[in-house]
Structure 1
């Protein structure tokens, strides 16, 4: 694990800057501060499923560049906490969601976020909490609306195999697709899942190294 072990967020931030440059090349576009509105979507204010603590390894690519790191994720009631780890397994940052409110604490230089911490928590919400109501659903493909997005889910044997998000207004175009290896059942994360963000061109494979019910 290198000195930018959890730097997935930094790579995504640079990518989002490029996507928001309105036709300018990412390398020549003047930097600006990222805002919450640059990544559309709403956090879930009620977090369904069991309480847990999980340690996860993230690996992926963004515009041909490899990204990766480790985090600790904890859900207690409607509170969600994401801890980014340094190469020495100490805290780099802590991002906490309570309802629609997000707060962040920085504990190490590499924990300074060049983007709103809501961006990371929104990806976590999409994976676990921003699904169609009534789970578990019957076998097959189901489609509905969650906020300003069309959500499509594939279910089999009481397990969620895939979840897809598309903006109803088409901005950004494309889809965010989460695939759950072996399926997600009763809100418990599978050992491996993959998130492909077609809006901004990155993909992340998430391996759950440890899972502890709370």
Structure 2
């Protein structure tokens, strides 16, 4: 899959003020590289991810998805097999165990045949020993790794993450990014947001936003 972002503009009303969250942003996201959307809080990172995911609608511009999905595919019609999102709020279900949360995409889409077993994902994210606990019985970092594991369950060609390492210590940042990089190198599109220099330094490509505008788009030369 290739994701084409064309001239995205998004404005919000804040009282009597109009805030421009995105201002004519254009970029192409290709499979095979870990891309980080960088920039300070309020720069437009979350809005960019939310529009690509179909959670918000742009005021102008468009997002197109090309092969293997039909050109012009509607993100609202996609399933976990096509697009997975890791929100900052994590959105884990408190009534399900860690294992059941990770398994949820396969339960919602039982026709899905591909993907990595939940048990293997739990071990890779170093939370296998927590499989039968409920999210409330685990730490913030463990919950975040559960959410990332859930996003990978069906091996989606597009994975978006809004600060998916924000609750991790340095060693676990390396762990999570290593797994996300592996997913990208398997031929998938991975776009995550961050303002953490430790995350940015591990990216293959960094797209930097400031006041809603794309001010830099650089490939870093990080070695595989």
Bigger fraction of residues in strand: 1
TM-score exceeds 0.5: no
TM-score (norm 2): 0.31
